[in-house]
Structure formats: structure tokens, C-alpha cells
Amino acid sequence: MIAVWLMVTGCANLESDLTVEPSEASTETSIESTQGNKPATEKCVSIGQEITDRLKAYNAAFVAEDVDLLYNDFWPLDHHTFVPNWDKDREEMRAQMTWFYERGNLYSYNLKSLDRYVYKDVVYDFGAGNSTGEMNGTLFTSYDYYFIRWTKENDGVWRVDKNVGGPRGNSSEVIPTTNEGPVVCFNKNQSDQPAVNSEITDRFNAYINALTTGNINQAYEFWSQDIHFYGTGLNADREGLYEHYRQFFETGQILSSKPTLFYRFVHGNVAYDIGQSDDTIVTDDVQSTKKTNYVIRWEKGHGGVWRITRIMEVFRR
């Protein structure tokens, strides 16, 4: 939804807590995992379908220009959206969307889940989308990546707790890492684990050090076998990401990286980070600043080592 947000502003293996395995699924929902064959629980399939239905309703609310519906039915009190030009809370989003609809229209808004992870009353969605509309008489089309953290509120309604979005960089079709609308169910609710936070922070700092020193072989060891990178101009698996950095470091370097972590959600052996980063890079002897919003999914694998299974890194002004 990059064009919308620009217009709006006026300018490998799942670990021990995995409980659901491949099985039949309803409509758009499928079950994916890498362990043995266990029957999928009805609840797991049901939650996946609930999120699919809510996602469609969320799309429709944007197209209908129903700010009150978005505010009351989709954005909880602690809602936070990160997009290229800003990050805003619930009240700020209401004002921003009201401002936009006074000056423009959204003709279509379609989000498609690529990876979905269910933790009882919390669901994490990585996906891609496209939208069309106009702003002050200027037509636009956008092609984007998104991340949504869904939470089931006390009234039983799924709402968009956290949202990160940014440009894919082109209109090419995105190849899902699994089937459309995958559902992977876990046993672990969110937990506050200071020791885990420290472990992940140390791993993240070591990963950043590998990149800023141009040590691509070391960085490679931080990625799980099934890592997938969703970024502006890049949609890659482990080998593709390695080749991307190998080519970059032939003529460029990352002089510094200054990440800011806003949220970390830990569920046993899995964690999700939401943050922003300001990187100073050199490409072909030209120095520039690269600003991004990022989401990282961590998994604690064999030997108790935290590795990165998903990265979404999208442009930020």
C-alpha cells in the first residue's frame, strides 16, 4: 500500500511448540509444517479462516472509506501502524485516514497472506498486496508487502494490533513460501522472558556486526534453512539472499547500522521483532542513508541457537 501511504501523507524446521501438521483445510486456508503427520485441530483451521475473513473485511472497510468502522472494529487501543512516511497510533490513524478520504479515493485494496502463524489469541501474518486509487485527481497503483499482528480482544473480535507495510518495488507476482493462506499453529502464548530477550538482542547485534563488516559467510549462519526475505526490490530464499549480499559487497559496504526496536513478542522458541533502522551504505563509491521498517521472525533451533526465519525490510522515508 505504499502509494496509498505516500498519498495519504500528501507526498527450516519449526520447534517443539509446534502442534499442527498438514491436513485438509477450509476454503483459502491450508495447514503447513515440517514435522510428522498429525491431524490438524479444528480450532487451528477455524482460526485461520477467521483471519482470512477478517482480512477481507479489513480490505473492504478501506475501500468503503469507513473510518469509523476501521477505528472501532479493527484498530484496538494499542494499535500501531508503520509505513514509509510515518508511524502512527490509533488516534493518529483516524485523523490521517479522514484527511486522506477528504482528498482522495481508494478503488481497490487487496491483501494476500503468504505466511500465517497462530498462537491461540494472537496471529502473525506476512503477506503481499496491491491497491489502486486517486489523490487530488492523480491515479495511483501500489504493490506492497505487509505484516499484521492480529489479537483477539475481550469481545472475541480479531483486530489489527500492529501493522507494518511498504513497497515491493515492482508489480511482479509474489511466490508464497507455502500455499495461500497457510496456517501454522503453536502452543505458546506470549511470554515475558528477560533471558530470551537478552539472547535475541545479543544474536541480533552479532548479525548486524557480520553485515557491517561485510562478512556474508558469517551472516549466512544466522539464517535458518527456510528463511525468506521480503523486501523492497527483493523476494529471496536463503541462497538468493546470500547471492544478493555477495554481489552488494563486491562494490559496496554497510558503514553503520542503527536499528531501533519498538516491539518484541516472544512465544516460547519463537519471537517477532518490529523496528526501524537507519543504515549508512556505500554503493559504487556513493554514500547514502538507507531507512527501513523491519520485521524479523526468530526461531530457536537445534543446539539452542536463535536464527532468523523471516525478514520483512521495506523502505521508509
Contact call for residues 295 and 262 (beta carbons, < 8 A): no
What does the pLDDT read at residue 226? 93
C-alpha cell at 225: 534453512
Contact call for residues 41 and 185 (beta carbons, < 8 A): yes
Give Cα 8 distance to the centre of its chain.
Answer: 21
What does the pLDDT read at residue 190? 62
What does the pLDDT read at residue 169? 82
Helix (H) or strand (E) segment spanning residue 205: helix 194-212
What does the pLDDT read at residue 46? 85
Amino acid at 312: M
Contact call for residues 228 and 145 (beta carbons, < 8 A): no
What does the pLDDT read at residue 174? 62
Name 30's Cβ contacts closer than 8 Å, sequence gap at least 6.
178, 179, 180, 181, 182, 183
Q: What is the pLDDT of residues 144-188, one digit of tens each?
A: 999 999 999 999 999 999 999 999 987 666 655 544 445 677 765
Cell numbers 528463511 correspond to what residue? 227
Report the C-alpha gap between 119 and 47 in whole angstroms: 10
Neighbours of 75 (CB within 10 A): 23
What does the pLDDT read at residue 286? 95
Burial (0-12, 13-18, 19+ Cβ within 10 Å), 289 = exposed
Which segments of the chain have a pLDDT < 50? 1-3, 5-7, 9-40, 178-181
What does the pLDDT read at residue 6? 42
